Structure 1
Amino acid sequence: MRENLYPSFGILLIDDEASFLRSFSLLLEMTVGINHVYTCDDSRQAMDLIEKNDIGLVLLDVNMPYLSGELLLSAIVERHPDINVIMLSGLNQLETAMDCIRLGAFDYFVKTTDQVRLVDGIKRAIKMQEMRLENQEMRRLFFSGALQNPEAFEDIVTQDKSMKLVFQYIESISKNNRHVLITGESGTGKEAIAQVIHNLSGRKAPLICMNVAGLDDTLFSDTLFGHHRGAFSGADKARLGMIEQANGGTLFLDEIGDLSLSSQVKLLRLLQEGEYYPLGSDTPKRVNARIIVATHQDLEAKQMDGSFRRDLYYRLCMHQVELPPLRKRLADIPLLLEFFLEKAADELEVNKPTAPKELAVLLQNYSFPGNVRELQALCFDAVSRHRGGVLSMSVFKRACESADTKIAVSENQTSSLYPNDLPLPTLQESAELLVDEAMRRANGNQSIASRLLGISQPALSKRLKSRTTPS
């Protein structure tokens, strides 16, 4: 069985001319990388082939002996309505074309006309079928609420519902070849998600990672496309580009938001044409790698200021995975804390220290600008300093004190805290409400609550006692 078949479903060519079947199969593979092709030169065997194989697209000749194309079209539409059928004819017959469209054909082409139009029509039909299958798979996953491959996500520690939805979406898109855009703040685990997508894709070649931040146009081209010997001064030997190293696998381009405009043009052409030229070569090479990109930047804002091409963005966002920041995954913080403490202890070859109960509560009230990566670094630092007893909170407290721990109000929260149609609370009432909220967030811990309020613990304790003391 051939590996890395494209598309994921089979394409069946039905024509009584064996020479056309051979030449057109070769054309599809050489021009657009379509290699999941079945051929049939006897229309009587067509339905049996469809029944036995996972066929998503049929290219069907109109004029054939035994069963005509129109009769076979009717049978396919009736028994397999989800299969797209493109009709082919040696003659430009308008009436026949209209009849085929009425019978349910996806499109109609004349063999003798420009083959580019026919190939483009096939690519459109493939995309339509892929979208239908993806939507079908997403509905199935969302309604089932269960992951089909939970082991693929075992390295990502979470119990957050939004992350579970991300996992379900990833499962539904992993098998196709369309590009994926992963967005999220720095440290949210974008490369780990790219690795999961690659693992679930079933591709046998490896995931190749390339960080494009800081690369000028020449270095970007050389790194991505490679070069031939003598392509430029100092090129004393050939070099394989990252895209060729990822052949049959996945190419992950990180920090895509930092790519220069001139490099964006080259990446756009790679995505559009599916081919590239190594530096110093006049012979194009076909792309046989899925491309995943990631950024922590707001690409829509960069489009508005002209620093990111809109056409490239639309090419990249066919599938978009957005990872939530750690401050929106509060329930995951205790899990991650234990996971990273154990991991740090293993790597440093020491016993895992016991974390104080209030540590998780403290961290749940920290904004974590560095997200999961920052929590991991804090845990490793704390374990490396640990000398016995309960784990000290000093490393974590220092991080909380040195940064602005106030979680910013979300951008869509534009309404006032105090609606105009209600009276303002008194200053005393507001203070009481604020103390109550701080104690709630601190899970009753006065030390953490006082830190959130910006007052000393004795001052908070005095205020709390005054509530229960009769005046």
Structure 2
Amino acid sequence: MSQNLYPSFGVLLVDDEAPFLRSLSIALERRGGISHIFRCEDSREALGMIAREPIGLVLLDLTMPHLSGEALLQRIVEEHPDVGVIIISGLNQLETAVSCIRQGAYDYFIKTTEEDRLIEGIRKAIRMQEMRLENQEMRRRFLSDTLERPEVFEGIITRDKGMRSVFQYLEAVSASSQPVLISGESGTGKEAIAHAVHALSGRSGPLVSVNVAGLDDNIFADTLFGHHRGAFTGADKARAGMIEQAGSGTLFLDEIGDLSLASQVKLLRLLQEGEYYPLGSDRPKRMRARVLVATHHNLEQKQRAGAFRKDLYYRLRTHQVELPPLRQRRDDTGLLLEYFLAQAAEELGRNKPTFPRELPVLLHNYAFPGNVRELRALCYDALSQHRGGVLSMEVFRRAVGQGAAVPEPEHEASTRSLFAPDQPLPSLQEVADLLVAEAMQRAQGNQSLASRLLGISQPALSKRLKKSQPE
């Protein structure tokens, strides 16, 4: 795309006063960042423009020759019910305003109303229209279970249904200009998802990434907003901030859960106003980039604890995806093992080794606290030590032996019972038999792996299995 228009749908201004159309267009672009604008001075041509162009919102005057605003409103509601309409009139009449709202207008403004209120009302209508279109698109994609641009996700190796749902959701909201919150444990692929969102959006600018963990308030402001020469001691020359470097692209703020409260205020204002001040400047600049944020923290818990602003949290979660940990994507471990071994072999200039059949089973039963990143590191480590023949399982066995199961959250562990409270408890022998059967099922019949899962020797497991067999 040569340029990024906001919003993704067109905003049609209909008024017979050409000077007002020009001034409103300029105000919308400069003060509201709204650039996808169409103008119509003859109300009789408005319906034709709505049919030809991708119009999603109409700003409509009431008092016009030929076809009045109220008559045009009625026809738009009947013929184009998906198009929103805002009335901007010189008439300050309550009865007329109520009549227009009843006919289907989204809002009613007076031309003499202060400009800030008018522009904010239009931006709010745009956000509502974006959400309605996104909901329609999500329903269509989930019902058809399709991906229109699967090539964007080729670098994310998975066949998990939960991940596929994430991809479908991201496709549905790709045209939006609203922030996207990407959450998930460390190593689940949040940065890869950010790259996919940027590719889906088709934005003309680059993806600029900033890890905000550990940045104090002053460095955060300078990093994002930039500064003018002489703004502070040592500022010998002007420097463009990351927002300006992103241009019409995407700004990705990683580890947003570690942002200080003072910096959270600055980020909130940036998202609300779409404007920022470089350090040492009293003239605002408009942000054209889309903002993506990522965190491994539970922001809802942090805002309840007072460590994260509630208003910023709700602003960020307009669009939100939660990436499942690898222990919930167990069917992906075999795919990822193959992929990372091939990738490591190519980088190290070696042939991809064969591996024991029990290796995927071993990994299938490992909790992977480091998720995909940990599996990748294990594959590279194993291949770097490989000297020929079948790949040794020693690196993987050490990880599985040292890695404890990932603990459940305290509030879940304290309220969940292993046994139904209205049923009698099983005997120790029954529990032991059930555990052995489950371990053998997870190990796919491999006694060596099953004994590791149970923490006993293979002869001890074999003895138990023989005892449990009917005579």
TM-score interval, normalised by the smaller of the two chains: over 0.9
Q: Bigger CA drift: 159-168 or 398-407?
A: 398-407
Segment drifting more, 17-26 vs 416-425: 416-425
Deviations 1:281-340 (A, max 9, x none): 111100100000000011111112211111110110000110000000000000000000
CA contact (8 A) 1:215 1:259 kept: yes
How big is the alpha-carbon RMSD for the aligned residues of Structure 1 and Structure 2? 1.4
How many residues end up aligned between the 2 structures?
A: 470
Q: How far is the alpha carbon of 1:112 from its aligned partner?
A: 1.2
Question: What residue number does 1:309 align with?
Answer: 309
**Which residue in the other structure is 1:256 paired with?**
256
Alpha carbons of 1:270 and 1:389: their partners in 2 closer, same or farther (altered >3 Å)? Answer: same
What residue in structure 1 maps to residue 20 of structure 2? 20
Deviations 1:213-239 (A, max 9, x none): 111111111111111111111111111
Q: Show the counterpart of 2:444.
A: 443
Question: What residue in structure 1 maps to residue 73 of structure 2?
Answer: 73
Please say which of residues 419-428 and 403-412 is displaced more in the overlay. Answer: 403-412
Mapped to 2, the partners of 1:469 and 1:168 lie a distance apart of: 51
Q: Which amino acid aligns with 2:292?
A: I
> C-alpha separation between the residues in 2 aligned to 1:218 and 1:227?
11
Report the equivalent of 1:32.
32
The amino acid of 2:420's aligned partner reads: P
Q: Give 1:98 deviation, angstroms.
A: 2.2
Superimposed CA distance per residue, residues 150-187 of structure 1 (whole angstroms, 9 cap, x where no aligned partner):
11111111000111111110110111100010000000
Q: Deviations over 1:100-140 (max 9, x none)?
A: 22222111111012122211221121111111100000000
The aligned counterpart of 2:134 is: 134
TM-score by length of 1: 0.97
Normalising by structure 2, we get a TM-score of 0.97
Instruction: Quote how far apart the aligned CAs of 1:411 are.
Output: 5.8
Structure 1 stretch displaced more, 461-470 or 295-304 = 461-470
* Amino acid across the alignment from 1:243: I
Q: Distance in 1 between matches of 2:111 and 2:405?
A: 67
Give secondary structure in 2 for the equivalent of 1:134: helix
Q: In structure 1, how many angstroms separate the alpha carbons of the residues matched to 2:262 and 2:332? A: 41
Distance, in Å, in 2 between the alignment partners of 1:368 and 1:197 is 26
Question: What letter matches 1:273 in structure 2?
Answer: E
CA contact (8 A) 2:378 2:396 kept: yes
Q: CA deviation at 1:466?
A: 2.6
**For 2:406 and 2:15, how far apart are their aligned partners in 1?**
68
Distance 1:61 1:244 in 2: 36
**Which has the higher mean CA deviation after the structures are superposed, 188-197 or 221-230?**
221-230
Contact 2:2-2:204 within 8 A present in 1 as well: no
Is 1:11 aligned to residue 4 of structure 2? no
Using the alignment, how far apart are the partners of 1:308 and 1:156 within structure 2? 30
Match of 1:429 in 2: 430
Q: Equivalent residue for 2:398?
A: 398
The equivalences for 1:87-236 within 5 A come to: 87-236=87-236
Please name the residue that 2:369 is paired with.
369
Within 2, Cα distance between the matches of 1:102 and 1:222? 49
Please say which of residues 98-107 and 210-219 is displaced more in the overlay: 98-107
CA positional deviation for 1:412: 4.5
CA displacement at 1:69 relative to structure 2: 0.7
- Name the SS for the 2:181 alignment partner: strand
C-alpha spacing 1:85/1:409, structure 2 compared with 1 (3 Å): closer
Higher mean alpha-carbon deviation, 323-332 vs 1-10, is at: 1-10
Partner of 1:85: 85
CA distance in 1, matches of 2:202, 2:318: 20
Distance 1:451 1:287 in 2: 55
- Unpaired runs of at least 5, structure 2: none
The whole-number CA distance in structure 1 between the counterparts of 2:82 and 2:73 is: 13
Matched-pair identity in %? 67
Instruction: Indicate the SS of the match to 2:13.
Output: strand
CA contact (8 A) 1:365 1:405 kept: no
Matched, 1:417 2:418: yes
Per the alignment, in what secondary structure is the counterpart of residue 25 of structure 2? Answer: helix
In 1, the alpha carbon distance for the partners of 2:307 and 2:73 equals 49
1:4 partner SS: coil
Instruction: State whether residues 367 and 407 of structure 1, in contact with CA within 8 Å, keep that contact through their aligned partners in structure 2.
Output: no
User: Which deviates the most, 227-236 or 337-346?
Assistant: 227-236
Any conservation in 2 of the 1:4–1:203 contact (CA below 8 Å)?
yes
Find the aligned partners of 1:174 and 1:68 in 2 and give their Cα distance: 37
Residues in 2 aligned to 1:411 and 1:438: alpha-carbon distance in whole angstroms: 27
Amino acid at match of 1:66: H
1:366 touches 1:406 (CA, 8 Å); kept in 2? no
1:239–1:406 CA distance, 2 compared to 1 (3 A):
closer
Equivalent residue number for residue 43 of structure 1 = 43
Q: Letter of the aligned partner of 1:454 in structure 2? A: G
Counterpart code for 1:464: L
